[in-house]
Amino acid sequence: MAWRHSGLSVTGSGHAKTATPCQDVHAILDTGCLLVLAVADGAGSARYAELAAVQATKQALDWFQSGRPLPADAPAWEAELRGLLGSLRDGLAAAADRLGCPARDLACTFLLALVTADALIGVQVGDGAIVYRPPPGESAADLALLIVPQRGEYLNETVFLISDTCLQDARFAYRASAPADLALFSDGLQMLALDMSVQPPAPHAPFFDPFFNFVRGQPDPARRADQLRVFLESERVCARTDDDKTLVIAVRADAAGSESPV
């Protein structure tokens, strides 16, 4: 199955004012048999937030580049992803030891979506979201959340990968069909991309569809990235969120489309 994808992480206007680097990181791996999309968002209060996000996404891609056989069903995938999360958490703890800092200084959230020829698999620790559109022919053809984002008791409270309860708090999903469209985004875009007035939150199709159409119809990766940057750094977006922002888009590359998202 051929995929066309694009992703970008940009510094929020709030971080730009304080000369804080972007603490969002994304990564994409497309082997032809497996598509891997990862997003990590370093906690604003964490001293090494950016380092944590970089390490988590890189280690996740390394995990799936190691030649490991792909799991065959939902329980096997959950076991595989639990093993990955444990490895990521151990890696962050080891980094904290090397840096001589508390583990909380490497706090980050984590999103991972994987697509095979016949399945969509996801895991989520913390906020942000994974949105997908089912393939043609399924009864529910509208955009949907793969996993309902986690929310704490208070606004902006979330779960982090380094947490002692990471494996208990992690949420997993398995669908026995590959999606038509797929998007991952950090919490900096949640208020724009999701209707938070309903529970569970509902993806806002007018936000996503122009991106899906544009990425599907634009063969040049540089132009795709340019358009994402224009949007994510636009005044209308920054007026609604001053946080770092990440958006990763993947679409099946067998249909035409060219609408600009901007």
Which fold, 3-252? Phosphatase 2c; domain 1 (3.60.40)
Q: At residue 249, does pLDDT exceed 90?
A: yes
Over residues 126-145, the mean pLDDT reads: 86
Please report the pLDDT score of residue 211 as a whole number: 92
Q: At residue 156, does pLDDT exceed 60?
A: no
Task: Pull the structure tokens for residue 222.
Answer: 């540089």
Instruction: Give the residue extent of every domain in the chain.
Output: 3-252
Nearest alpha-carbon partner for 124 in 148, 156, 143 = 148
Query: In whole angstroms, what is the distance from residue 128 CA to residue 246 CA?
Result: 9
Instruction: Write out pLDDT tens, residues 13-70.
Output: 777 777 778 899 999 999 989 999 999 999 988 999 999 999 999 999 999 987 788 9
| pTM, to two decimals | 0.92
Query: In whole angstroms, what is the distance from residue 209 CA to residue 44 CA?
Result: 30
| CA-to-CA dists, residue 186 to 11, 69, 73, angstroms | 12, 29, 28
Over residues 157-163, the mean pLDDT reads: 87
- At a CB cut-off of 8 Å and minimum separation 6, what does 230 contact? 262
Lowest-pLDDT range, 151-155, 203-207, 213-217?
151-155
In sequence order, what are the beta bridge partners of 172?
123
Answer yes or no: are the C-beta atoms of 210 and 204 closer than 8 Å: no
Over residues 220-231, the mean pLDDT reads: 91
Nearest alpha-carbon partner for 182 in 222, 137, 135, 221 = 135
Task: Pull the structure tokens for residue 56.
Answer: 């988590």
Radius of gyration of the chain (CA): 17
Answer yes or no: are the C-beta atoms of 187 and 41 closer than 8 Å: yes
